[in-house]
Amino acid sequence: MNGRTLFNAAIEGKNHSGRPPLWVMRQAGRYLPEYRALKEKYSFVEMVKNPELATEVTLQPLKRFPLDAAIVFSDILVIPEAMGQEYAFRPSGGIEMKVKLKTDACIEALNSSQISERLAYVEKTLKLLRKELGNEHALLGFCGSPWTLACYMIEGGSAEGFPTTIKWAKERPESFVRLLEKISEALVEYIKMQAECGIDALQIFDSWQALCPDQYLWDWSLKWIKQLVQNSPGSVPIIVYANSSVNRLQEVCNTGCAALGVHHSANLLDARMSLPKNLPLQGNLNPELMETDGETVKVETLKLLDEMKMDPAHILNLGHGIRPGAKIECMESLVETTRNYSMN
């Protein structure tokens, strides 16, 4: 079984091959020397916007490690950028946008039409990748959730706890809803475009869901994700990743998504016990593990694999993106341990 078949079997809850498929978020990134070499010449945004370079960067980890799937090299922030808010990385870390949303007029000025035209570079990258990966490896597209994107758009970048966004959502709900509507409109078109490029699944990142108090969970976050799921072409399974507790995962499921990405703070076995048996669960080793050593990675990976043994709907993943301090020997150990594992 090759990576693509394995991934698609797991996402249908029918993987009886002997091991789960494996891929890793931010497979690219500062921990790979070949990525850092490209970063000497180009900025992150330049690489994202150049389909040949974005394809090369997406494929870099697959050249080193026999992973089963690739996630396109891009960012959730391409949507705000296409709507009129340029972004860059602060040299000290974190995101900085050129403008932040301050008034209702700023929201009205955002452009949510013709997103596919403005994000034609992502379309080109996905088509190149589909060609390169063929049937050997699965290809994932992605986007940010309306709530998570609104957080960055209102704060104008990374911000501890996103306090301005929370204040706006509580005090000016009408214009906040208007913002979520405009982001959703852009995302519906973006998801459709990605689906047409032949991706195997699309992941929606609701990275800041944990900031929504229980009473607002549905109004601020989940309602909008449900709308995206309902408006997406049925051909592409949607995986929702949320930084949330096991208790909340059932709620996330009610969006109608095909699968859940589980953060490393949740216990994956508990999640499995409390959710439908065949619901694909993706996760959830702690990314910090990748900064230890090969032996520790082997032990922890085997522990998770044993816990999830015989689970036909498990996709092995880190519980969040791989960090810049990750060691290559740790990735090697993760891949080797998984590939040599037999569920049977």
Using CB under 6 A, list all residues that contact ligand CP3: 25-30, 39, 44, 71, 73-77, 89, 93-95, 142, 158, 205, 207, 321
Q: Closest separation between CB of residue 261 and ligand CP3, Å?
A: 9
In sign, the C-alpha dihedral spanning 261, 264, 269, 275 is: negative
Query: According to DSSP H, which parts of 103-159 are helical?
Result: 104-109, 115-118, 120-133, 146-155
Q: Which residue, 148 or 175, has its beta carbon nearer to ligand CP3?
A: 148
Q: Report the Cα 40 to chain-centroid distance in Å.
A: 25
Q: Which amino acid is at 32?
A: L
Question: How is residue 148 written in tokens?
Answer: 């998570």
Q: Report the Cα 69 to chain-centroid distance in Å.
A: 13
Helix, coil or strand: residue 276: coil
Q: Which residue, 96 or 104, has its beta carbon nearer to ligand CP3?
A: 96
Residue in the structure block whose two tokens are 């009129």: 84
Distance CA 239, CA 174 (A): 29
Q: Closest separation between CB of residue 186 and ligand CP3, Å?
A: 16
Q: Which residue, 13 or 257, has its beta carbon nearer to ligand CP3?
A: 257
Pairing label, strands 201-206, 238-242 = parallel
Residues in the chain: 344
First-to-last alpha carbon distance for the chain, in angstroms, is: 15
Q: Which residue, 115 or 202, has its beta carbon nearer to ligand CP3?
A: 202
Q: Closest separation between CB of residue 264 and ligand CP3, Å?
A: 12
Q: Closest separation between CB of residue 290 and ligand CP3, Å?
A: 13
Cα atoms found within 13 Å of the Cα of residue 143, Cβ hemisphere only: 33
Q: Which residue, 77 or 239, has its beta carbon nearer to ligand CP3?
A: 77
Q: Closest separation between CB of residue 88 and ligand CP3, Å?
A: 10
Q: Are 217 and 145 in contact (CB under 8 A)?
A: no
Pairing label, strands 95-97, 87-89 = antiparallel
Q: Closest separation between CB of residue 53 and ligand CP3, Å?
A: 13
Distance CA 143, CA 164 (A): 23
Question: How is residue 66 written in tokens?
Answer: 């026999």
Q: Closest separation between CB of residue 340 and ligand CP3, Å?
A: 24
Q: Which residue, 60 or 338, has its beta carbon nearer to ligand CP3?
A: 60
Q: Which residue, 73 or 175, has its beta carbon nearer to ligand CP3?
A: 73
Axis-axis angle for helices 51-64, 33-41 (nearest 10): 160
Q: Closest separation between CB of residue 111 and ligand CP3, Å?
A: 21
**In the complex, which residue's CB is closest to ligand CP3?**
207
Q: Which residue, 13 or 157, has its beta carbon nearer to ligand CP3?
A: 157
Secondary structure (DSSP) of 310-321: T-TTEEEEESSP
Cis peptide before 284 (omega within 30 of 0): yes
Residue in the structure block whose two tokens are 């990576």: 3
Q: Which residue, 13 or 26, has its beta carbon nearer to ligand CP3?
A: 26
Rg (CA), the chain: 19
Q: Closest separation between CB of residue 45 and ligand CP3, Å?
A: 10
